[in-house]
Amino acid sequence: MDYFFAQIEERENPRFKGLPLVIGADPKGGSGRGVVSTCNYEARKFGIKSGMPISRSYKLNPKAIYLPVNMNLYRKVSDAIFLLVGKYSQKMERVALDEAYIDLTGLPKGYGGALVLAKEMKKKIYEKEKLTCTVGIAENKMIAKIACEEVKPDGIKVVMSKDSESFILKMGVEKIPGIGPKSRKIIENFLKKRDVSIEEAKKINKEDLVFLFGKRGGEFFDKFRGKDESPVNEKKEAKSIGREYTFQEDVRDSKKIIKVFKSLISLVCRELKEKDLRIKSVVVVCRFEDFETHTRQTSFSEENYSQASLYKKSIPLLLRFLTESNKKVRLIGFRVIVD
């Protein structure tokens, strides 16, 4: 889906259309601590982007419209959309509220057939939900995703199998899904060169990539060559459930910290009950004022994971952070590993 959260808000409130619109944390006149979730294309003209600190967004354009994230609404819209999308294939993999892969292997008319389906699907989504999206069609998930990014918004792009490798050649290595800022830097340092293209990265031996990145290195080697064998598969059950919270201001007051911490446990506990899940262990997260982030984990075997027993197990872990450091606390989190 194109600029999903912001596009939904435009649909709900057409007077926002044509104006810069930012969905995310409250900017609080420039002192907000959150980030931009999504923004529309008008906001992007000011240099605002997803993931950017909201304080920076506010500096770039204090007059933009700032709206909070209404996740319940977006989830509902997402469900309606992917109910439609799912009709086009037996196999669909939802990777986020606004993104999914469908497997169209074996269509009688190949890429031409896929293109026809994509057009139909876009039309149907627009008719039913008044929202635009972009479709990438290719022989594997990675190329389809990159193709999609290239033609946003409201686009369709087909990359024929024979073109997979050449399609990405001149792009920067960071276009490869799985290569983020750190991996990019490692590649730059290795080649002693900045802005490395995929073409240049292909000159790195497989052995060197494995030395640099371990198991992922071997996958990068294939990805640089347009290859990606990962299958389209439906999402499985969650392996962990957690909640975290960043304080308005860094704190040391353990009363305040524990109060918030208990509310996080309650939220997780409610979800556990709803889904009737057993848990393997609990994880407590603490981020200090300087952004140093630590976790403490402990196994949890009791049959009965009432709120009280979760408190009993996890509060001591939390208190350890406070005794082991004098720093103020920025964020705390609580997570359970389910089995």
Partner DNA sequence: AAGTTCTTATTAC
Partner DNA sequence: CTAACGGTAATAAGAACTT
Say how far apart CA 120 and CA 93 lie, in whole Å. Answer: 19
Closest CB 277 distance from DNA, rounded Å: 11
**Which tokens is 112 given?**
């031409």
Spatial contact of 142 and 159, defined as CB atoms under 8 Å apart: no
CA nearest 226: which of 195, 249, 243, 201? 201
Task: Tell me if residue 99 is catalytic.
Answer: yes
Looking only at residues 148 through 177 of this chain, which bind DNA when binding is defined by CB under 7 A?
177
User: Contact between 34 and DNA (CB under 7 A)?
Assistant: yes
Taking phi first (over 0 means left), then psi (-120 to 50 degrees means alpha), and beta for anything else, what does residue 195 get?
left
**Would you say 101 or 167 has its CB closer to DNA?**
101
Residue from 2, 11, 26, 35 touching DNA (CB under 7 A): that is 35
Rounded-to-integer distance, Cα 237 and Cα 241, Å: 11
Catalytic, out of 42, 93, 99, 188: 99
Interatomic CA distance for residues 16 and 40, integer angstroms: 10
Among 241, 257, 279, 329, binds DNA (CB under 7 A): 241
Nearer CB in complex with DNA: 1/156:
1
Cα angle at 26 between 21 and 28, to 5 degrees? 110
- We find the least distance from the C-beta atom of residue 295 to DNA, in angstroms, to be 4
Instruction: Determine if 246 is a binding residue for DNA (CB under 7 A).
Output: yes
Binding mask 254-293 for DNA (x = CB under 7 A): --------------------------xx-x-------x-x
Instruction: Say whether residue 243 binds DNA (CB under 7 A).
Output: yes
Work out whether 50 is an interface residue with DNA (CB under 7 A): yes
Count of CB atoms within 10 A of residue 23's CB?
A: 25
Tokens of 109: 């008319």
Choosing from 178, 231, 278, 302, the residue that interacts with DNA (CB under 7 A) is: 178
Burial readout 244-276 (b: 16 or more C-beta within 10 A, e: otherwise): eebbeebbeeeeebbebbbebbeebbeebeeee
CA distance 107 to 102: 12
Does residue 245 touch DNA according to CB under 7 A?
yes
Among 100, 125, 209, 331, binds DNA (CB under 7 A): 331
Is there binding between residue 29 and DNA (CB under 7 A)? no
- Give yes or no for residue 70 binding DNA (CB under 7 A): no
Provide the annotated active-site residues.
Answer: 99
Contacts with DNA by CB under 7 A lie at: 25, 33-35, 37, 50-51, 53, 55-56, 95-99, 145, 177-184, 214-216, 238-246, 280-281, 283, 291, 293-299, 330-331, 333, 335
